[in-house]
Amino acid sequence: MSSLVYSNILLQVPEETFYRVPLIPVHGVPLIKPIATSWERIEKFQARSDDLLIATYPKAGTTWMQEIVDCIMNQGEVEKTSRAPIHVRSPFLEGNPPPPIKCGVDVLKVTPSPRMVKTHLPFALVPESFWHQKCKVIYVARNAKDSAVSYYHFAQMNKLLPEPGTWDEYAVKFLSGDVAWGNWFSHVLGWWNARDKHDILYLFYEDMKEDPKREIRKVMKFLGKDLSEDVVEKIHQHTSFTAMKENPLTNYSSIPSSVLDQSLSPFMRKGEVGDWMNHFTESQNQIFDEEYRKKMEGSTLMFRCKVW
C-alpha cells in the first residue's frame, strides 16, 4: 500500500490493483485494468442529448481541445475556466482512478448539463446512448509517429499505465496496438469512417498547430457559437502551449506525483509537430511507413507528420 494525497484526501492505494498492471482486453481492445473491470457500467452510461463528447486516441491534444471548448462554452470568458481543473470541468467517461475518488460515470451523473465528456474509446466501444441521443462529438487525431513518442513519455510518467520499457520496445508495442486503448490505426480510421453517420467534427492536431484560430472558429461553428475576433484571440492566447503549461488547471500538477510523476516527463511536454524525428531510427521509420501504407490503404484519411 502507498499513501498519497489527492485533492486533500489521503488515500491508501493497493499498488497491485492500480499501478503498472497489465492491460485487459475489452471487445479486443486492451484497456487498463480498473477500466476493464468496470466495463459494464461504462457501456451502460446514459448520455444526455446536450452532451458534447471530446474523443481522441491518447496524446492527440485532448486537454488542449477540452480547454478550447470550455472557453467557447463560456462565451470566451476565459476567467470562468479557473473554476476547477480541466479533468473536473470535463470528466473522463471511462476514467476509474483509485478510490475514494469517483469514477467518470459517477462524476458525470452529478455534473450539470451541458456536459463536456472526455473519452479515449475507439468508436466501436462508445456507449450506444451517445448515438441514441444524437450527441455532438469532436474527434482530434494526431499523426502516428508523434502520438507514439508522446505516448511513450506519458507512459513513463503515468503509473496507471504499464511500464513502457525502452523506446525500441515501446515502438514495437505501439505499432502492434499493444498499448492502452489499442491500435492507433483502428482508432483514427474507426472515427473517420463514422464521421458522416453521426454529428462528428473531425479535427487534426497538426491543423491546430498550423492555425489555432482557424480551428477554434471551426469548433465555434460546430457548437453554434458566434464570438467576435477579439474573443477568438483571447481564447487563442489562453490555450497556447505556454499558457497551458503554466496553468495549474491544465497542466495536471494537481494530480499527485505518485500517479503522474512530472519529474520523469511533464504532462505539457513539447507540444510540437515532428518531435518523432528526434526519436525514430531510420529502420523504425521504414517499419512504421510500411505498416502505415498497409493499414491506411484505400482510406481518404491523410496525416501530416512533418514541420512545414
Residues at the interface with ligand A3P (CB under 6 A): 56, 58-64, 146, 150, 153, 239-241, 244, 268-271, 275
Kindly state the cell numbers that stand for 8.
486533500
Helix, strand, coil distribution of the chain in percent, nearest 5: 45, 15, 45
Q: Minimum CB separation from ligand A3P for residue 3, in Å?
A: 27
Q: Minimum CB separation from ligand A3P for residue 167, in Å?
A: 14
DSSP 278: G
The Cα–Cα gap between 161 and 301 comes to 29
Q: Which CB, 175 or 235, lies closer to ligand A3P? A: 235
| Residue 132 bears catalytic tag | no
Q: Minimum CB separation from ligand A3P for residue 297, in Å?
A: 27
Catalytic residue among 120, 153, 187, 238: 120
Q: Which CB, 63 or 186, lies closer to ligand A3P? A: 63
Distances (CA, A) of 303 to 57, 119, 122, 187, 300: 14, 21, 18, 14, 10
Kindly state the cell numbers that stand for 86.
480541466
Q: Minimum CB separation from ligand A3P for residue 277, in Å?
A: 12
Closest residue to ligand A3P, judged by C-beta, is 271
Contact yes or no for 46/131 (Cβ under 8 A): no
Q: Which CB, 16 or 155, lies closer to ligand A3P? A: 155
The helix or strand, by DSSP H or E, that contains position 73, with its residue range, turns out to be helix 62-73
Q: Which CB, 23 or 260, lies closer to ligand A3P? A: 260
Give the residue numbers marked as catalytic.
120
